[in-house]
Structure 1
Amino acid sequence: MGTFSVRSAVRRAAAGLLSVISVMLVTLLAAGWATPARADTVSEIADGLRQSRLYVSSEAAGALSDAERADVRAALDSAGRADIRAVVTREGVGQQTLVRMLRAVHGRVGEGDVYVAVTADNRMLAISDRLSGSEINRLITQTGGDDIAARLIEFSALADEKAAEKSRSHTVTTFVMLSLLLVVVAGLAGVFLVSRRRRRRRDEMRMAELKESVEEDVTRLGEDIMALDLDVTDPSLAPEAREDYTHALNAYDSAKGAVETARQPEDMRNVTSALEDGRYAMTAVRARLAGDPVPERRPPCFFNPQHGPSVQDVPWSPPGGALREVPACAADVDRVLSGESPHARMVPVDGMRRPYWDAGPAYAPYAGGYYRGFGGVDLLSGMLIGTALGSMFGGGWGFGGYPGGFAGPGDSFGGDTGDVGGGWDFGSGDFGGGGDFGGGDF
């Protein structure tokens, strides 16, 4: 009997202990000492926003009813000018935590123009790559009330309208800029066309003046040949004289034909080269007819190639230029050595006449042809230093043609956004513990 009594007592004591433990566990759970529920991670929020423009975290599940969620989603989906995505989370979240969360979520979603977060105690914050921080703050200030759903719907409409306004402003600005660009392009095209037309007319006028000058040289040679009045069939005419005379006639014909077909200044080089050849042949004919030795073939008279071959070099300088030696005919040698001015070849330039060496680039081929057989550029560049034509021979014969997105903290994603008008109370609470979402997924 004694043993049975002891066992019964032990059973009653154990049952009583289990009852106490059960009561204590129930009491602890009721007091909220259970392990808190895991917060939603950034990845979960991002996945949710890919499927819908509204995400309500598990910690704020009671902030919106099913009907309110449907109304908010409809408002967000109806925004046609801005892609607005909203996150509803628990109360007591700090500003910096929400900013980091929104930026991280956008980085994972990869699209969206405006991201807005609302806490369960109706505190709102947003970031955007289309609207500035001040614009976002004004939109938040314009929304109000204790109804989270109504506030999100109103914010969506305001943000969409602001995006449309900026889009219209951008369109107008683009149109204005394109119009101005078209005006500028049209103006530049007009200036170019007018300039090209003027340049063409100027080139045509200078080509006409050059051709007039060269034709004068050709005519002068023809007159000198005719003045000899030789009969090439006269048996008493020395064969050498007949040959030189025939050579002069052929050179004259060649020069005449070349000047008729010339279309640009460069074409005149062949004309004046033929004229130089014909001039020397005429000098040889006169010497043979006079019974004198045929003179040495020298460069044409620098002062006027119409004078024919030079007989010697004389010192000469252009106005303000250095002294140099130039070839001259007998008459100009006498003039220069006696202190007189030589008889310069005067050519038309813009309706006036001036020495050919001061007539501009069109006369470079003209001079080049006369001195082609006597060193060309090397000879002319030295004689023409300090003249308008001299610069054309400095480098050779090239007479040319007649003459803000989403970003990290501190960058441009509306960074200083906040509930300016709503009196946001930025607490110290963290989203998911330790300042991170979902215990480290952020």
Structure 2
Amino acid sequence: MAPFQERTGATVTALARPAAALAMAGLLLLTLLAGVVGLAAPARADTVSQIADGLRSSRLYVTTEARGALDAGAQARVRTALDQARHADVRAVVTKPGVGQQTLVGMLRAVQDRVGRGGTYVAITADDKMLGISDRLSGSEINRVIAQTSGGNIENRLVEFGRLADRQAAADERSGTVTSFVLLGLLVFVVAGVAGLMLTSRNRRRRREAEQMAELKEGVQEDVTRLGEDIAALDLNLTDPKLAPEAREDYTHALNSYDAAKAAVDAAQHPEDMRNVTSALEDGRYYMTAVRARLEGRPVPERRPPCFFNPQHGPSVQDVLWAPPGGVPREVPACAADAEAVLIGASPDARMVPVGGTRRPYWEAGPAYAPYAGGYYRGFGGVDLLSGMLIGTALGSMFGGGWGFGGYPGGMGVPPQDFGGDTGDLGGGWDFGSGDFGGGGDFGGGDF
């Protein structure tokens, strides 16, 4: 039995050797086939998100399909150069050869949007085609920088691009700073000029208003003085027992109105303050006229508006048709003497007031006399009455234009300013050599 067992074991061992060899050969064949298949299958392209992630931590990204374009040492030198470009903040992408212009522009814009920082983005293909976009440099500046880097290899071009782009961005910043200072200086000059003009204009206006106020006060003081003189001319003794109570009451009323007018003219600071003065004068002059009528045994006159031509004449007695020079006729209240003059074609006794060193009728004296006239006619329709009587006169245009009894129109019109600007210049520079990028593409969020 032993010889048989020995022969059997030898036989099994001899059969196992060819089987093991066959298994090893099969395994080697599968390995070779897997290698062939692996070489035949292209590497998956980098996505926009992958490129953006890479550029957040590094100024250079070399895509998987362009790894052979720059070795590790060249990549390190490019990154160092781009890190030094702080003004332009350049970020570069190295891509496979044959990529189209539209595809590269789309990729750069999509990457810039995702990264969220970086002022200038440049792409260069493995076959040495370069383009860029920037919100720091203009399109013409990028074109010029790219053109100045032509003729070198990818490493040298990117290093030179970073240096030139940074220098251009720094120059733009200096120019912008100078321009800002110039504009600021110009703005300060303009503001100072405008402020000076406004101050000069305001001072001139204040001087003119002060002069007008002084003349107006002079004219109104004449009315106050005239009323005081007319009251004094009555020579009335209030203690006389023969004086009728009505006359004593009217006389007291006239004196009180005169005192009120004197106090109001002394306190007046602005033309509109004169309205209170002339309102008191109209009241005092009516009661003085009433006293005179009582003393002479005549009926107390109706309380009518003051004589238009000269309020110092007291209450009017009738309306007459009158027209200012070059104007249309209208009815105005007049005292007996002025009514007669108008009816016979003579000139009425107009109230002449001081204006600009001369004297002219109060209705031709300008805006300062609008409150003056308004106070006299306050109780008789005010603006409604005056606007009709003063049509065609200098004062009438002011009442008709919404002047009321005083105040001055004013204001300064400033033409609207148009301000504009752009949101930056996303320029593109192209260096195609003797070739062309060919067709385009759309990155979106897909592969590159």
TM-score range normalised by the length of the shorter chain? 0.7 to 0.9
Tell me, what secondary structure is at the counterpart of 1:117? strand
Q: Which residue of 2 aligns with 1:426?
A: 437
- Listed as ranges, the matches of 1:280-429 within 5 Å are 280-394=286-400, 395=402, 397=404, 399-401=406-408, 413-415=426-428, 417-419=429-431, 422-427=433-438
Match of 1:241 among 244, 247, 251: 247
Q: Which residue of 1 aligns with 2:166?
A: 160
1:253 Cα shift? 1.2
Q: Distance in 2 between matches of 1:30 and 1:134?
A: 49
- Do the aligned residues in 1 keep the contact of 2:366 with 2:394 (CA within 8 Å)? yes
In structure 2, relative to structure 1, the CA distance for the partners of 1:347 and 1:366 (3 Å cut) is same
- Do the aligned residues in 1 keep the contact of 2:119 with 2:136 (CA within 8 Å)? yes
Of 249-258 and 302-311, the range deviating more from structure 2:
249-258
Q: Deviations over 1:30-87 (max 9, x none)?
A: 6996211112111111111111111111222222222222211111111121110011
Q: Distance in 2 between matches of 1:65 and 1:397?
A: 90
Residue identity matched to 1:419: D
Q: Distance in 1 between matches of 2:313 and 2:169?
A: 85
- Do the aligned residues in 1 keep the contact of 2:371 with 2:405 (CA within 8 Å)? no
Residue identity matched to 1:78: Q
Q: What percentage of aligned pairs have identical amino acids?
A: 70
- Do the aligned residues in 2 keep the contact of 1:39 with 1:439 (CA within 8 Å)? no
Q: Which residue of 1 aligns with 2:212?
A: 206
Q: Which residue of 2 aligns with 1:79?
A: 85
TM-score, with normalisation over the residues of structure 1? 0.87
1:154 Cα shift? 0.9
Q: Distance in 1 between matches of 2:391 and 2:398?
A: 10
1:144 Cα shift? 3.4
Matched, 1:45 2:51: yes
Q: Which residue of 1 aligns with 2:282?
A: 276
Q: Which residue of 1 aligns with 2:7?
A: none
- Do the aligned residues in 2 keep the contact of 1:222 with 1:252 (CA within 8 Å)? yes
Matched, 1:131 2:137: yes
- Listed as ranges, the matches of 1:22-171 within 5 Å are 26=32, 34-171=40-177
Tell me, what secondary structure is at the counterpart of 1:125? strand
Tell me, what secondary structure is at the counterpart of 2:398? helix
What is the total number of aligned residue pairs between the two structures?
Answer: 422
Q: Which residue of 2 aligns with 1:5?
A: none
1:240 Cα shift? 2.2
- Do the aligned residues in 2 keep the contact of 1:38 with 1:438 (CA within 8 Å)? no
Matched, 1:266 2:272: yes
Which runs of no fewer than 5 residues in structure 1 stay unpaired? 1-10, 407-411
Of 248-257 and 44-53, the range deviating more from structure 2:
248-257
Of 270-279 and 211-220, the range deviating more from structure 2:
270-279
Tell me, what secondary structure is at the counterpart of 1:205? helix
Of 264-273 and 207-216, the range deviating more from structure 2:
264-273
- Do the aligned residues in 2 keep the contact of 1:298 with 1:310 (CA within 8 Å)? yes
Q: Distance in 2 between matches of 1:286 and 1:236?
A: 15
1:308 Cα shift? 0.9
Tell me, what secondary structure is at the counterpart of 2:354? strand
Aligned-pair RMSD on alpha carbons? 2.9
Matched, 1:177 2:183: yes
1:91 Cα shift? 2.3
Tell me, what secondary structure is at the counterpart of 1:418? strand
Q: Which residue of 2 aligns with 1:4?
A: none
- Do the aligned residues in 2 keep the contact of 1:377 with 1:393 (CA within 8 Å)? yes
In structure 2, relative to structure 1, the CA distance for the partners of 1:123 and 1:378 (3 Å cut) is closer
Which runs of no fewer than 5 residues in structure 2 stay unpaired? 1-16, 411-421
Q: Deviations over 1:180-217 (max 9, x none)?
A: 11111111111111111111111111111110011000
Q: Which residue of 2 aligns with 1:8?
A: none
Residue identity matched to 1:38: R
In structure 2, relative to structure 1, the CA distance for the partners of 1:439 and 1:172 (3 Å cut) is closer
Q: Deviations over 1:304-356 (max 9, x none)?
A: 00011111111101112111111111111111111100010011111111111
1:439 Cα shift? 10
